[in-house]
Amino acid sequence: MNQSIDTSEKIHHKFLDKLQARGIDVHACFQCGRCSAGCPVTGFFDLTTMEVVRLAAYGREEDLLASKTIWLCAACETCATRCPNDIEIAALMDVLRELALRKKTVPAEPRVPVFHQSFLQSIRHWGRAYEVGLIVGYKLRSGDLLGDMKLGLQMFGKGKLSLRPHSVKDKTVIEKIFSGQGKEYER
Ligand code: SF4
Ligand code: SF4
């Protein structure tokens, strides 16, 4: 066996082990298509949901991490609900997003992970979403300073956005979550 095949085999198994550890059995898929047929955002995907599951079964981690689909998935769970084999497809998308961030894969939809990071930072700091801080963080990171400005002003005018953050009383649980988050995916 040559070196390149040997290396790709290792990646394949490591990736599948991660899925197995999360109880995501991609090998149970028999490509019935129910997941793809029910997905509300499938028209925006570059890989259909059933393709994601099949590529995962083949251990094609790099193809998956480079796809738009993993970032555009809305985590609505419709696919998992429709799957006759109870495959946790939304959890699979989650694992792929997490891996993409950890491996610093250039995201095919860069503004989505930027928003995720801004949201998580808000949770980490306040224990809940502080919308104004989240928006400012997102704007600065994405460089999209003026987008959705009109909508933001309308929300502010209707009292939907508070300038003052509200923190949870006990943030020790939040700190605990962030301190151990995702360790099982580390390479
Ligand atoms: S619904 Fe389940 S079994 Fe059918 S294609 Fe999708 S993942 Fe595979
Ligand atoms: S969880 Fe994602 S892939 Fe599944 S149906 Fe919803 S948007 Fe589509």
Q: How buried is 84 (Cβ within 10 angstroms: 0-12 exposed, 13-18 middle, 19+ buried)?
A: exposed
Last residue of a domain, one of 102, 123, 151: 102
Report pTM: 0.81
Q: Which residue has better confidence, 164 or 92?
A: 92
Q: Which residue has better confidence, 181 or 16?
A: 16
- Mutate which of 44, 49, 81 for ligand 2? The one with the most ligand atoms within 8 Å of its CB, which is 49
When pLDDT is cut at 50, 70 and 90, the band that residue 5 belongs to is very low
Residue 13: CATH number of its domain: 1.10.1060
For residue 89, which atom of ligand 1 is closest to its CA?
Answer: 7
On whether the CB atoms of residues 52 and 35 are closer than 8 A, the answer is no
User: Are residues 37 and 118 located together in one domain of the fold?
Assistant: no
CA of 53 to the centre of ligand 1 (A): 8
CA of 30 to the centre of ligand 2 (A): 18
User: Are residues 89 and 116 located together in one domain of the fold?
Assistant: no
User: Are residues 171 and 88 located together in one domain of the fold?
Assistant: no
User: Are residues 67 and 13 located together in one domain of the fold?
Assistant: yes
Residue of minimum CA distance from atom 2 in ligand 2:
73
Going by C-alpha positions, the residue among 69, 84, 89, 67 that lies closest to residue 22 is 89
Last residue of a domain, one of 102, 121, 151: 102
User: Are residues 61 and 150 located together in one domain of the fold?
Assistant: no
CA of 6 to the centre of ligand 1 (A): 30
User: Are residues 61 and 24 located together in one domain of the fold?
Assistant: yes
User: Are residues 21 and 97 located together in one domain of the fold?
Assistant: yes
- Report the distance separating Cα 93 and Cα 72, nearest Å: 10
For 64-112, how does the pLDDT look when each residue is reduced to its tens digit (9 = 90+)?
Answer: 999 999 999 999 999 999 999 999 999 999 999 989 988 999 999 999 9
Reading the block at residue 155, the tokens are: 């929300």
Reading the block at residue 144, the tokens are: 């999209």
User: Are residues 116 and 97 located together in one domain of the fold?
Assistant: no
Residue of minimum CA distance from atom 5 in ligand 2:
39
Residue 94, pLDDT score: 93
User: Are residues 65 and 152 located together in one domain of the fold?
Assistant: no
Parent domain of 164: 111-185
Residue 34: alpha-carbon gap to chain centroid: 21
Residue with tokens 């995916």: 185
Residue 9, pLDDT score: 55
Q: CB neighbours (10 Å) of residue 179?
A: 8
Reading the block at residue 76, the tokens are: 């609505």
When pLDDT is cut at 50, 70 and 90, the band that residue 187 belongs to is very low
Instruction: Give the 3-state secondary structure of residue 66.
Output: coil
